[in-house]
Structure 1
């Protein structure tokens, strides 16, 4: 009887991984479909906090060739527990964010054109209108540059740490601003699910595109007022939200 219970637990655990890997594979397929990545750039991960594991895209693998079985499952120290591929090189950045913010369930990293432009010039993405305000309750911050010693020692972990540092120092709620620009690198977004995290990456790219064009059309353009920012954000988020269907 004891052996049967062990086998049942093992089969249940295996099935749970299969569902997690399928969900992460589907979210990764959304990236090229949305025009957020080219070649093998970018990745999506998802955490199962009950199981203590993270599933993530395999490193350097083409999206069109990837199957759910290629998704790599790791523990929270980065050790592979399921899968035969190497995990994304950004794994340890994702792990820092999961450890820092227990509210999030998925993380996305891309090198989408306009958001990366903002990151490469080390500039916050300012809220110029309500499209931005619907998702990001304030500017999307850009981190400071990593110091040489940080780059040389645990670069991916330090990238996660500088993201967490930026939000802590600026007193930004990561659930109200679900994205960041890593200076000289590119954007990261997150959400409660892989699908939502990818949608946030899509919105961030669109807002960055409009922001670049706004700045070219009207140099020195001012941010949207706080009143309008708050109104549009809270229409979609929080206990008083009125957007959408019950």
Structure 2
């Protein structure tokens, strides 16, 4: 992948945020990485999505140094950087403040798997990540946001491509994928699942999570070694 390819892919994913309904104002960002070169790209801070061009996208290395780009990268850059450094399988990251998923994050409620729509995308309950300490916020807020996410995924022994989403307490969701656009698709799925979960709970406050055997069937038919969803490549 060339740097131009990377910038174009990341630009396209960021420009898709607003039409997807996931963001208002500039409340979100998408990044993507080229593992072969060790370079990754992210939206510049505070720039309207509709005005973004590939030339605006900021390219960095895995030390956090800007390699190309005249604009300041997203304020969430250090969070993305920690995740790329700690999980080599991650190829793209999306962060939004989408309405319903953020409700769960702010309430400190994990997102249970109530049905097959959720199971198709997320292998079980989407976890809550702990709040940062006062010392972490004062020292390097964005860096320690990434540290807390990594800590939670490892604590639960979760593969970030099988559980490509977390809910940051008091904050909002982060999603992961094989590419920038893939991570965006997971954000769309997360928001839809959160919306459906809130509606389901309102209809049946005593409802339980989906039975384990149905969860496993739906997730593995799409993501497992014997997956048969979609067309063969």
- Counterparts of 1:171 and 1:64 in 2: how far apart (Å)? 38
Q: Name 2:187's counterpart in structure 1.
A: 201
Alignment of structure 1 residues 139-178 onto 2, 5 Å: 139-178=125-164
Secondary structure in 1 matching 2:174: strand
1:79, distance to aligned residue in structure 2 (A):
1.4
Work out whether residues 161 and 178 of structure 2, in 8 Å CA contact, stay in contact via their aligned partners in 1: no
Q: Name 1:119's counterpart in structure 2.
A: 105
Deviations 1:112-146 (A, max 9, x none): 00000000011110000000000101101011111
**158, 173, 189: which one aligns with 1:187:** 173
Secondary structure in 1 matching 2:2: helix
Q: Name 2:31's counterpart in structure 1.
A: 45
2:24 equivalent to 1:25: no
- Counterparts of 2:5 and 2:156 in 1: how far apart (Å)? 37
- Counterparts of 1:16 and 1:84 in 2: how far apart (Å)? 19
CA-based RMSD of the aligned residues comes to: 1.0
Q: Name 2:42's counterpart in structure 1.
A: 56
Return 5+ residue gaps in structure 1 as ranges.
1-14
Q: TM-score, normalised by structure 1?
A: 0.92
Superposed structure 1 runs of 4+ greater than 4 Å apart: none
Of structures 1 and 2, the larger Rg is shown by 1
- Number of residue pairs matched by the alignment: 232
Q: TM-score, normalised by structure 2?
A: 0.97
Q: Name 2:83's counterpart in structure 1.
A: 97
2:54 equivalent to 1:68: yes
Return 5+ residue gaps in structure 2 as ranges.
none
Secondary structure in 2 matching 1:153: helix
